[in-house]
Amino acid sequence: MKYQKTKEVLNQLVADLSQMAMVIHQTHWYMRGTNFLKLHPLMDEFMDEINAQLDVISERLITLDGEPFSTLREMADHTGIKDEKGTFGKGTPERLATLVKDYRYLEELYQKGIEVSDEEKDYSTQDIFIGFKTEIEKKIWMIQAELNEAPEIDA
Assess whether pLDDT exceeds 70 at residue 26: yes
Given this model, what pLDDT does residue 54 score?
98
Nearest one of 97, 95, 92 to 144, comparing CA atoms: 97
Q: What is the dihedral of CA 16, 19, 21, 23, to 10 degrees?
A: -120
pLDDT digits (tens, 9 = 90+) for 78-121: 999 999 999 998 999 999 999 999 999 999 999 999 999 999 99
Domain boundaries, the chain: 4-146
Asked whether 57 and 14 are in contact (CB, 8 A), the reply is yes
Structurally, what CATH architecture does the domain formed by 4-146 represent? Up-down Bundle (1.20)
Nearest one of 98, 92, 75, 95 to 17, comparing CA atoms: 75
Nearest one of 141, 142, 145, 146 to 154, comparing CA atoms: 141
Please tell me the distance from the alpha carbon of residue 14 to that of residue 56, in angstroms, as a whole number: 10
pLDDT digits (tens, 9 = 90+) for 38-65: 999 999 999 999 999 999 999 999 999 9
Contacts of 9 (CB under 8 A, 6+ apart): 109, 112, 113, 116, 117, 129
Assess whether pLDDT exceeds 90 at residue 21: yes
Given this model, what pLDDT does residue 34 score?
83
pLDDT digits (tens, 9 = 90+) for 138-150: 999 999 999 999 9
CA distances from 75 to 13, 54, 57 (A): 10, 12, 14
